[in-house]
Structure 1
Amino acid sequence: MNQELPPDFLAVLHEPVLHEDDLDAQERFFGRDAVRAFYREAVREDARDAVLRAAAPLLSELHPLRGGLLALFGGALVESGADPRLLFPATLQRMSQLLASLAPYCAEEPMEEEEEEKEDEAVPADLAAWRAAESALRALPPAERLQIEARRCAVDLLVLPLMAMLMRDVRNHRDLLADGALVARIEEMAVNGTLPFDQLHFLRSAAQLAYEDELVVLLPTSQAGMIVRAHGLNNNFHAFSLLQDLFRLHVHTLGIRQALTVRHNGEDEYGEPRDSDSAEYLWLQATAYAGGKLVAPMAWSWGEGTLRENARRQGQLVLVALETDDKPARSWNGFGHVLHSEQKPHVALVRFLAPDEVAAYLA
C-alpha cells in the first residue's frame, strides 16, 4: 500500500459539519464501509505505520471534528501495533490549537457568596471569568455555536488516541510535559462549567504520572539506599506502596530493622489488587536533611502530590524513608488505580547505593 489515503476514506473525512446531528460522529464514522475496509486493509497489509505517516499532516487541515476522527482511527492502529510516536506530535499540536481556541468559552463556576455583591466592590477574578465565558457563548450566532460544540467534541475525541500513544511510549509523555503551557491549559480547562469536556480529565491525570529512570530512595537509619526505575506512578502515595513492596524484597541488603507488614505482590488477603495501604516509614523529601542530620522532620513528601514535585539533590529526584515510631499514622486508598491498560505502573531496582553515596545525598 502506498502512503496515500484512499479517496473514499478521504471523502468521509471531508464531509462538512453543518448540523447538530453531525456532532454525533464517532459511531457513524467507524460504521462506514470505506473506513472499515481501510482499517482492515491497513492491518492485513501491515501498513499501519505508513497510514499514520500519511495521516499526520492532515490533522491540521481537516475540520476539527473530522481531524479528531482521523486521530481516533490512528489510535486504533496504534492499539493494534502501529508506532505510537508517528502521529503523536501532530495530535498533540491539534489538541493545543483546539484548547487555545476554546479557552475564552471555558470557566469554572465560582463558589456562591453568602453576601450579595456590592456595587463599589471589585468583581472577583473567578466570577469575572465565569461571566465573560458565559457572555461569549451567548453572543455566538447558532452556526458559530455549532462549530464551538464541534471543537469541544473534537477535544474529547483526541484524548483517546493521545492516551493510547502516551501510555505506549514514555518519550511521548516527556514531550507532553515539555509543553508547559499546554499542560497548564489542560489543568485549567479539564473541569469547567461553561463548556464541559467528558474526556479531558484523563489527559490531565496522564500528565500527572511520573516516569523516572533514576529515582533515589534513601533509608537514613541504616545508611542504605537504592536507585530505582519508577514508571507510570500516579502520585506519591502510589510510589510509597510500590517502594514498600520493593523494600520487602531487599530487607537484609537495606538493613531494615523494623518489623514489616506482610504483603503479597500488591494483593490483599483475598488475592485482589489492593486499593489501600499505610505508611510504614516517615516519608520525607531531601530537604528534611542537612549535614547528615534530620533538620526538618515536617518536610514530608505529600502523598497526593506528583512524584516529580519532590525536591532534588545532585540533580536527582530523592525520597527518604525514615524508620521511626515517632510518625503520624498515614493511610490511603484509591491511589493505585490505573488510567489505561498500558500504564503498567512499577518500580524496579537499578542498583544499591554505597554508604558514601547515601551520606552525600543527605549532606
Structure 2
Amino acid sequence: MKFPPDFLQTLRQPVLGEADLDTRSSFFSRNEIRDFYLLAMKSPEKNDVLQLAAAELPHLHPHRAALLALFCGALVEDGADPHLLFGAALELMAGLLVSLEPFCATQPQEDDDEADPEDVAEWQAAEAALGALSAQERFEVEARQAAAGLLVLPLMTMLMRDVRNHRALLSDDELVARIVAMAVNDSLPIDGLHFLQGAAGLAYEDELVVLLPASGTGMVVKAHAINNNFHAFSLLQKLMRKHAKALGIEPPAREAHANASRDTDCAEYLWLQAHAFRNGELVDPMAWSWGEGSLRENARRQGRLVLVALDTQDKPSRTWNGFNRVLHSEQKSRVSLVRLLMPEEVASYLA
C-alpha cells in the first residue's frame, strides 16, 4: 500500500497561518483524508500504513505530523500494530516539548508571600520569552503547542496497548521529566499532557514478589498497568483472598461497608518494603510501602520488586479512595498469580 498523491499533498502543505491549522474534525472532513481513511480501515494492510507514516513523520511540519499520527491512532484502535509508529511519534513529542519548554511555566499565586524565587523567575522568563516573539514566531509556537495536544491521543492509544511502548517511554528520562514538568503549566498549556504524565507513572512487573511472613508463604505475581501502591494493595488483597487456602492464610474479616465502592478500600495488612526484614526478623516496621507512590519505587531483592504483607494488629488504619481510576479504556489493570513461592524462597527474600 502507498499513500495516495492527494493525501500526501495535504500532509506536505506548508503551515504558515491559522487557516493551515486543521482541527481533528476538519482534518478528517477533507475528502482526500476521509477517502484514504475509509480505504485503510477496510484494508488488511493497516500495518503498512503505519510503517509508511513512521518514515514520513520526521519530514512533515509537526502539526501535520501530529494529524498523521492521529490518523494512524484510529487504525491502531481498529487492530493495527501499536508498536510500529510509537517510536517515531514519541520522538516527535520529545522534539515538540524541547521547543516549547522555554515558554512553559506555572504562575505563582499573587498572594503567596512564600513563593519559591525559582518558580517566580521561571514564570517571568517564560512570559518574557513569549513576549519577545514576532507574530510569525508566536504562530509557530502556538502551532507546535496545538500539535503536542493532538499527539497525546495517538500516543496514549499506542502506549496503553503495548507494554514495549511503555518501556520505551520510561527509558527516556529527559522526556519523562519534561512531561511531568510541563503537564501543568499556565503560560502555554498543552491539552491532555497530564494523561501522558499519568501513563508514565504506571507500573508493569512480570515478577512481583509478595511475601507473607506470618504464614511463611508468598507468591510471584504479574502486575499490569498499576496506578500506584494503593492500587496494587487493592488488587493484591483480592488475589490473596482468592488463593487464601494455598497461601495458608485466613483473610481478615471485612467490615460491611468495605469495598462498597470499587474505588474505596482499606489495608488488610501492614504493607512493607523488603528492607523491613533482615535475617528473617522485622527490623524496621516503619519501612512502609507508601500508598501514593509508584509501585516501581519499592525496594528490590534478587532483582525482583518485593512487597511484604504483614498480618499484624499493630498497624495504622489505612483507607483510600480514588486510586483505582482508569486512565485509559485499554489500561486493563490486573494482577495474576504466576506461581507460589517455596518456603526456602520466602526465607531467602526475608534474609
TM-score (norm 1): 0.93
Matched residue SS, 2:308: strand
Match among 107, 123, 127 for residue 134 of structure 1: 127
Q: d(CA) in 2 for partners of 1:115 and 1:251?
A: 55
Instruction: Give the paired residue count.
Output: 350
Distance 1:303 1:24 in 2: 43
Cα distance, 1:362 vs structure 2: 0.8
Q: Decide whether the 8 Å contact of 1:282 with 1:321 is kept in 2.
A: yes
| Pairwise CA distance, 1:193 | 1.2
Distance verdict in 2 for CA 1:24–1:35, change over 3 Å: closer
In the other structure, the counterpart of 1:332 is 320
Q: Which of 232, 240, 260 is the matching residue for 2:233? A: 240
Shift of 1:260: 3.5
Deviation per CA, 1:140-182: give whole Å up to 9, x if none.
0111101101101111111111111111111111111111111
Cα distance between partner residues in 2 of 1:324 and 1:346: 26
AA aligned opposite 1:338: V
Q: Deviations over 1:51-98 (max 9, x none)?
A: 111111211111111100000001001001101111001000001011
Quote the residue 1:38 is aligned against.
36
1:307-346 superposed matches below 5 A? 307-346=295-334
- Provide the aligned C-alpha RMSD in A: 1.8
The alignment partner of 1:232 has SS state of strand
- Corresponding residue to 1:358 among 329, 337, 346: 346
- 1:301, 1:310 within 8 Å by CA — same for their partners in 2? yes
Q: Aligned to 2:152, which of 132, 142, 159?
A: 159
SS in 1 for 2:133: coil
Deviation at 1:279, TM superposition (A): 0.5
Bigger drift between 108-117 and 231-240 goes to 108-117
Give, in angstroms, the shift of residue 42 of structure 1. 1.1
- Deviation of 1:258 after TM superposition, in Å, equals 4.9
2:313 pairs with 1:303 = no
Aligned to 1:120: none
Contact in 2 for aligned 1:210/1:306 (Cα 8 Å): yes
Give the counterpart of 2:279 among 266, 287, 291. 291
- Output aligned runs, 1:6-155, within 5 Å: 6-112=4-110, 115=113, 124-155=117-148
The CA deviation string for residues 269-326 of structure 1, in whole angstroms up to 9 with x for no partner, is: 5xxx611101010011111111111111111111111100001111110011100111
- Structure 1's unaligned 5+ residue stretches are 118-122
Go from structure 1 to structure 2 and tell me whether the alpha carbon gap of 1:255 and 1:67 turns closer, same or farther (over 3 Å shift). Answer: same
Distance 2:197 2:107 in 1: 19
Poorly superposed stretches of 4+, deviation over 4 Å: 111-117
Matched, 1:221 2:214: yes
Task: Give distance in 1, aligned partners of 2:188 and 2:113.
Answer: 27
Q: Deviations 1:24-72 (Å, cap 9, x if unpaired)?
A: 5211001111111101111222121011111112111111111000000
Distance 2:204 2:16 in 1: 43
Read off the aligned partner of 1:362 and give its amino acid letter.
L
Corresponding position: 1:282 with 2:270: yes
Deviation at 1:23, TM superposition (A): 3.5
Which stretch of structure 1 is more off in the superposition, 11-20 or 240-249? 11-20
1:116–1:249: structure 2 CA closer, same or farther, 3 Å change rule?
Answer: closer
Confirm or deny: 8 A CA contact 1:284 1:320 kept in the other structure: yes
Q: Give the conservation status (yes or no) of the 8 Å contact 2:252–2:268.
A: no
Displacement, 1:15? 2.7
| Structure 2 SS opposite 1:222 | coil
Alignment partner of 2:172 out of 162, 173, 179: 179
Residue type of the alignment partner of 2:108: P
Whole-Å Cα distance in 2 between the matches of residues 258 and 9 of structure 1? Answer: 61
In structure 2, C-alpha distance between the alignment counterparts of 1:350 and 1:262, rounded to whole Å: 30
What's the CA shift for 1:19?
2.6
Structure 2 unmatched runs, 5+: none
Letter of the 2:156 counterpart:
M
Structure 1 114/47 Cα, relative in aligned 2: closer, same or farther at 3 Å? closer
Contact 1:55/1:70 (8 A) holds in 2: yes
